[in-house]
Amino acid sequence: MNQRIRLRVIVLGMLMVCVFIVLIIRTFWIQVVNYNFYMESNLRTWARSEVLQAKRGTIYDRNHKPLALEASAYNLVLFPKEIAELKQEDKVASGLHNLIGKPRSELEDLIKRTKQQQVEVHTQGWNMDYTQLDRFKEHFGEYNDFGEWLHFPDYGVGLLKATKRYYPYNELAAHVVGYINKEGEAISGTEAKYDALLQGQDGKVEFLKDNRGNPIPSGKETIRYPTDGESVTLTIDIEIQRFLNDAMKQVMAEWRPHKAMGVVMDPNTMEVLAMTSMPDFNPNSYWKIPDIGALTNHTIHFGYEPGSTFKLVTLAAAIEEGVFRAEDHFKSGHITVSGSRSPIHDVKTEGWGYISYQEGLEKSSNVAFIKLGLEQLGADKLKDYITRFGFAKQTGIELGSESKPIIAFERPSEIATATFGQGGIIVNSLQLATSYAAIANGGTWKQPSIIHTPASSPRGERRIVSAATAKEVTERLEKVILNGTGKPAYIDGYRVAGKTGTAQIPEGRGYSKTTWLISFVGYAPADNPKAVVAIVVDQPQMNGDYTLGGRVAMPAFRDTMLRTMQYMGVKPEKNVADTSRTADSAGGAGNQSGPKPQATTGNYIAQEVKAAVASIKQESLDAVVLGNGSKVLEQYPSEGTKLFTEEAVYLVTDKRERIKLPSLSGLPLRDALAICQLLEWKVDIEGEGYVVKQEEQNQDGNRRVKLFLASGHSIYKQRNADQDAAETADVKE
CATH code, 64: 3.90.1310.10
The boundaries of the domain holding residue 643 are 598-717
CB 494 within 8 A of CB 565: yes
Domain membership of residue 213 (yes or no) is no
Domain membership of residue 593 (yes or no) is no
CB 436 within 8 A of CB 312: yes
CB 110 within 8 A of CB 142: no
Q: Give the integer Cα–Cα distance in Å for 264 and 522.
A: 10
Instruction: Determine the residue type at 311.
Output: K
610 shares a domain with 561:
no
Q: Which helix (H) or strand (E) holds 51?
A: strand 47-52
Instruction: Determine the residue type at 483.
Output: N
Concatenated DSSP letters for 181-202?
-TTS-B-SHHHHHTHHHHH-B-
CB 621 within 8 A of CB 649: yes
**pLDDT score, position 723:** 41
Domain membership of residue 656 (yes or no) is yes
Confidence of residue 671 (pLDDT cuts 50, 70, 90): confident
CB 658 within 8 A of CB 678: no
* Mean per-residue pLDDT, 57-68: 93
**pLDDT score, position 669:** 74
Roughly how many angstroms between the first and final C-alpha of the chain, as a whole number? 155
Burial of 59 (0-12, 13-18, 19+ CB in 10 A): buried
324 shares a domain with 420:
yes
187 shares a domain with 288:
no
SS3 track for 511-525: EEEEEEEEEEEEEEC
SS3 track for 615-658: HHHHCCCEEEEECCCCECCEEECCCCCEEECCCEEEEECCCHHH
From 199, 215, 247, give the residue that closes a domain. Answer: 199
SS3 126: coil
Contacts of 250 by beta carbon, 8 Å cutoff, 6+ apart: 555, 556, 559
Q: Give the integer Cα–Cα distance in Å for 706 and 696.
A: 6
Q: By mean pLDDT, which of 85-94, 134-143, 215-224, 530-539 is the weakest?
A: 215-224
150 shares a domain with 242:
no
**pLDDT score, position 252:** 95
Domain membership of residue 308 (yes or no) is yes
Q: Give the integer Cα–Cα distance in Å for 500 and 529.
A: 18
Domain membership of residue 693 (yes or no) is yes
Domain count of the chain?
4
Nearest 5°: phi and psi at 335?
Answer: -150, 140
Q: Which helix (H) or strand (E) holds 82?
A: helix 80-86
Q: Give the integer Cα–Cα distance in Å for 83 and 67.
A: 41
SS3 track for 376-424: HHCHHHHHHHHHHCCCCCCCCCCCCCCCCCEECCCCHHHHHHHCCCCCC
CATH code, 705: 3.30.10.20
253 shares a domain with 179:
no
492 shares a domain with 414:
yes
**pLDDT score, position 291:** 86
Domain membership of residue 229 (yes or no) is no
* Mean per-residue pLDDT, 449-476: 87
Q: Give the integer Cα–Cα distance in Å for 360 and 331.
A: 10
Confidence of residue 46 (pLDDT cuts 50, 70, 90): low
From 525, 547, 581, give the residue that closes a domain. Answer: 581
**What are 70-120's pLDDT values in tens digits?**
888 899 999 999 988 888 889 999 999 999 989 999 998 999 888 888 899
**pLDDT score, position 218:** 63
**What are 425-439's pLDDT values in tens digits?**
999 999 999 999 999
Confidence of residue 40 (pLDDT cuts 50, 70, 90): low
| Residue 213 CB coordination number (10 Å) | 7
Q: Which helix (H) or strand (E) holds 312?
A: helix 311-320
- Kindly give the pairing relationship between strand 648-652 and strand 634-636: antiparallel
Q: What is the radius of gyration, based on Cα positions, of the chain?
A: 36
521 shares a domain with 637:
no
**pLDDT score, position 322:** 95
360 shares a domain with 437:
yes
* Mean per-residue pLDDT, 155-175: 91
Q: Give the integer Cα–Cα distance in Å for 653 and 634.
A: 7
CB 615 within 8 A of CB 635: no
Of 491-505, 609-623, 712-726, where does the model show the most confidence?
Answer: 491-505
Q: Give the integer Cα–Cα distance in Å for 725 and 722.
A: 5
624 shares a domain with 539:
no
683 shares a domain with 554:
no
Which residues is 164 bridged to in the sheet? Answer: 71
Domain membership of residue 362 (yes or no) is yes
Spatial CA neighbour of 498 closest among 338, 366, 311: 311
687 shares a domain with 658:
yes
Domain membership of residue 318 (yes or no) is yes
568 shares a domain with 614:
no
Instruction: Work out the angle between the directed axes of helices 311-320 and 429-440 (0-180°, nearest 10).
Output: 30
**pLDDT score, position 54:** 86
Q: Give the integer Cα–Cα distance in Å for 515 and 542.
A: 8
- Kindly give the pairing relationship between strand 334-335 and strand 144-145: unpaired
**pLDDT score, position 686:** 78
Of 115-124, 332-341, 373-382, 644-653, where does the model show the most confidence?
Answer: 373-382
**What are 596-641's pLDDT values in tens digits?**
456 888 999 999 999 999 999 888 888 888 888 889 998 888 888 8
